[in-house]
Amino acid sequence: MAEFKAKARAGWSSITIGNGALVLKRFGQQLSIPLSSITEVAVSKSTYDLPLVERTVTIFSQGKRTLIKRLSRQKAEELQQVILTLQHAKHSTAGSESHVDVATQLEKLAKLRDAGDLTEEEFNAQKRKLLNQCE
């Protein structure tokens, strides 16, 4: 299972994904949102397309809206992609064991990208290939 960890600069102090749920923590509170219940993940747009401009991620689940504020653009987009990829992988592999474990492969690609071994374009191309295999 792919893992995601981040800290927002305001609001939720810890954001993790693991064991089929998005877990948000702050000031002793914990909110666990099952990935299967998430209907939409939206990342705010900014007038300035700069890496340092912070974003807000909105999670829609079971008729509720949860905001994750002040994430870096990279982390906000990564969170959105990980959630969507894990949801897609779960739906795609539920009926067939022959599919590649997309979440694990995506995690490996992200590590290669983060280490500088893959460019962003190469990462996105490989990610598209993986997602197309599931269809």
**Which has the closest alpha carbon to 130: 108, 97, 111, 112?**
108
Note the pLDDT of residue 103: 75
pLDDT tens digit sequence for 14-29: 888 878 889 999 888 8
- Enumerate residue ranges in the chain where pLDDT < 70: 1-3, 9-10, 46-52, 90-100, 133-135
Task: Please tell me the number of Cα atoms within 13 Å of 109 on its side-chain side.
Answer: 23
DSSP string, the chain: ---EEE--SSS-SEEEEETTEEEEEETTEEEEEEGGGEEEEEE---SS--TTS-EEEEEEETTEEEEEEEE-HHHHHHHHHHHHHHHHHHHHHHS-TTS--HHHHHHHHHHHHHTTSS-HHHHHHHHHHHHHHH-
Separation of alpha carbons 109 and 100, rounded Å? 14
Note the pLDDT of residue 49: 65
Does the pTM surpass 0.75? The reply is: no
pLDDT tens digit sequence for 51-62: 667 888 899 998
37, 90 Cβ separation under 8 angstroms: no
Note the pLDDT of residue 32: 92
